[in-house]
Amino acid sequence: MEPTTQTDWTDNLPPAARAYLEGRKLDEVECIVSDLPGIARGKAVPASKFARQGYFHLPDSIFFQTITGDWGEAAGADGFIERDMVLRPDMTTATAAPWTGDWTLQVIHDAFDRHGVPVPFSPRNVLKRVVALYEAQGWKPVVAPEMEFYLVARNIDPAKDIMPMMGRSGRPAAARQAYSMTAVDEFGPVIDDIYDFAEAQGFEIDGITQEGGAGQLEINLRHGNPVKLADEVFYFKRLIREAALRHDCFATFMAKPIADEPGSAMHIHHSVMDLQTKKNLFSGPQGGETDLFFHFIGGLQTYLPSAIAVQAPYVNSYRRYVKDHAAPINLEWGRDNRTTGIRIPLSGPEARRVENRLAGMDCNPYLGIAASLACGYLGMMEERWPSKQFRGDAYEGEGDIPRVLGQALDLFDEAKALHEVLGPEFARVYSIVKRTEYEEFLQVISPWEREHLLLNV
């Protein structure tokens, strides 16, 4: 390992990490990288060792692993030889792990091959690639993700249905209480820990609300740099899970954990700034909507069907797309209309933005944001015009997005223009891993099949 050149590397930590360690001795550093599902992979090392190392190694096979722990045959022509990657820390991501028993920092690392070339199927590298394409045009993409999730009762038997958690009142969390402050108070102790952990990690929460499902909450994050915001969602998923475990419940980011309740989305708000002037390119000098604004929408309408396999990555993801269940089933766009897949929120010209409501909370945040930005980028580059603005209830129409993962993967495999933006090697690996997962699922016989087919067919 090559040594770091800093005499005391902790002097250059982000302010929140420095504040967390003030007057304390750092014990351990968790060196982490996101795999395709968004699970943190890596190593925990003593702080003294981290101070001496400039990088560490992990095999590239971590990106070929399915959510079940099996492996996709994605290694390429050289075979499954598990080459070592070089993982280098991005010290701007150093943040506390405040739930641990000792004083621990987490640091996100970027993955390179032995020649210093970014590993193309590492999710953070995929997002960086898309952002770089924007910057090459003089554009600065800005995003704001919304995170929906459920707090549920502990579930250690996969054969049992997932149930809402018990609130402070001793009653199960009630559904259909959207925006209720009483409902938020039911989860007060968990939310208090979420706030405390977020503050220790230096994250700014824009708000927490009760959503329409039993035990379903939404956290909004401030708009900003796509890579930084994806880092925060990556960190937040772990933070929220740890806060829930302290209070004898689980936090789940499944797209549809409870059959009769709404699903959980990761709505993504987008705007594009001019790198030089810092002006919102979706608004003209007089405050009107620009061609680029409409082209971005046109790009989402054109390419989102092919990108759904990235934004809805599991069989369960497609259970969320149900009419009248707070999830879009279409690619219509409308102003302040939550029944459309693409929504233009109320705002002034400076904050004009486009909201993609299709991405599920189960997607990898780096890949979900990258795919959304890729669709908008292609629309702007190809000068795609959207359909006419939709008025009314978009649920009354037919759906026009894939309904099952297999269909979504077929569309993804055909989308060569999208592959060029996200990276052809990423597209190859992602498709293989996801098809492996899909085959694994198809080997499982469900309770529905046993109930209705066993004696009736």
**Has residue 418 been placed in a domain?**
yes
Question: Where a domain ends, among 119, 140, 164?
Answer: 119
Residue 180 pLDDT grade (very low, low, confident, very high; cuts 50, 70, 90): low
> Domain check: are 184 and 290 in the same one?
yes
Residue 253 pLDDT grade (very low, low, confident, very high; cuts 50, 70, 90): very high
Residue 104, pLDDT above cutoff 80:
yes
> Domain check: are 212 and 154 in the same one?
yes
> Domain check: are 112 and 197 in the same one?
no
Q: How far apart are CA 7 and CA 10, in angstroms?
A: 9
| Residue 107 DSSP SS3 | strand
Please give the pLDDT value at position 6: 40
Instruction: Render the burial of 162-183: b for 16+ CB within 10 Å, e for the rest.
Output: bbbbbbeeeebbbbebeeeeeb
Task: Say if CB 308 and CB 321 are below 8 A apart.
Answer: no
Task: Say if CB 256 and CB 163 are below 8 A apart.
Answer: no
The pTM for the full model equals 0.93
Q: List Cα–Cα distances, 384 to 6, 296, 401, 452, in angstroms.
A: 49, 8, 19, 47
Residue 97 makes CB contacts below 8 A (sequence gap 6+) with: 30, 104, 105, 106
Please give the pLDDT value at position 159: 80
Averaged pLDDT of the chain? 90
Residue 326, pLDDT above cutoff 90:
no
Question: Where a domain ends, among 119, 148, 164?
Answer: 119
**Has residue 15 been placed in a domain?**
no
Query: pLDDT of 42-73, one tens digit each?
Result: 999 999 999 998 999 999 999 999 999 898 88
> Domain check: are 301 and 393 in the same one?
yes
Query: pLDDT of 122-165, one tens digit each?
Result: 999 999 999 999 999 999 999 999 999 999 988 888 888 888 77
Please give the pLDDT value at position 170: 55
The neighbouring-strand residues paired with 166 are: 172
Q: How far apart are CA 48 and CA 11, in angstroms?
A: 14
> Domain check: are 238 and 89 in the same one?
no
Both tokens of 13, joined, read: 């930590």
Question: Where a domain ends, among 71, 89, 119?
Answer: 119
Q: How far apart are CA 86 and CA 263, in angstroms?
A: 38
Calculate mean pLDDT across residues 85-89.
97
Element (H, E) at 424: helix 424-442
Total domains, the chain? 2
| CATH code assigned at 30 | 3.10.20.70
Q: What CA dihedral angle connects 320, 325, 331 and 334, to 10 degrees?
A: -150
Phi, psi of 34 (to 5 degrees): -85, 135
Q: To which residue do tokens 């008025």 refer?
A: 391
> Domain check: are 276 and 406 in the same one?
yes
Greatest CA separation for the chain: 74
> Domain check: are 134 and 114 in the same one?
no
> Domain check: are 191 and 63 in the same one?
no
| CATH code assigned at 281 | 3.30.590.10
Task: Say if CB 301 and CB 330 are below 8 A apart.
Answer: no
Q: How far apart are CA 262 and CA 182, in angstroms?
A: 19
Residue 181, pLDDT above cutoff 70:
no
User: Hey, CA dihedral for 78, 82, 87, 93, is it positive or negative?
Assistant: positive
Residue 1, pLDDT above cutoff 60:
no
Domain extent for 40: 25-119
> Domain check: are 136 and 75 in the same one?
no
Calculate mean pLDDT across residues 290-295.
98
**Has residue 5 been placed in a domain?**
no
**Has residue 18 been placed in a domain?**
no
Q: How far apart are CA 392 and CA 334, in angstroms?
A: 9
Q: Which residue has the higher pLDDT, 177 or 227?
A: 227
The total of other beta-carbon atoms located within 10 Å of residue 251's CB is 23
> Domain check: are 379 and 412 in the same one?
yes
> Domain check: are 173 and 89 in the same one?
no
**Has residue 95 been placed in a domain?**
yes
Q: To which residue do tokens 């085959």 refer?
A: 439
Residue 184 pLDDT grade (very low, low, confident, very high; cuts 50, 70, 90): low
Please give the pLDDT value at position 5: 42
Residue 18, pLDDT above cutoff 70:
yes
Residue 75, pLDDT above cutoff 90:
no
Please give the pLDDT value at position 29: 97
Among 164-173, 241-250, 398-407, the least confident range: 164-173
> Domain check: are 273 and 404 in the same one?
yes
Please give the pLDDT value at position 2: 45
Query: pLDDT of 237-251, one tens digit each?
Result: 999 999 999 988 899
Please give the pLDDT value at position 187: 81
Calculate mean pLDDT across residues 407-430.
98
Single-letter code of the amino acid located at 334 = G
Task: Say if CB 24 and CB 104 are below 8 A apart.
Answer: no
What residue spans of 353-402 are helical by DSSP H?
Answer: 365-382
Q: How far apart are CA 266 and CA 39, in angstroms?
A: 17
Task: Say if CB 254 and CB 316 are below 8 A apart.
Answer: yes
**198: closest CA among 154, 242, 252?**
242
Q: How far apart are CA 350 and CA 256, in angstroms?
A: 35
Please give the pLDDT value at position 4: 43
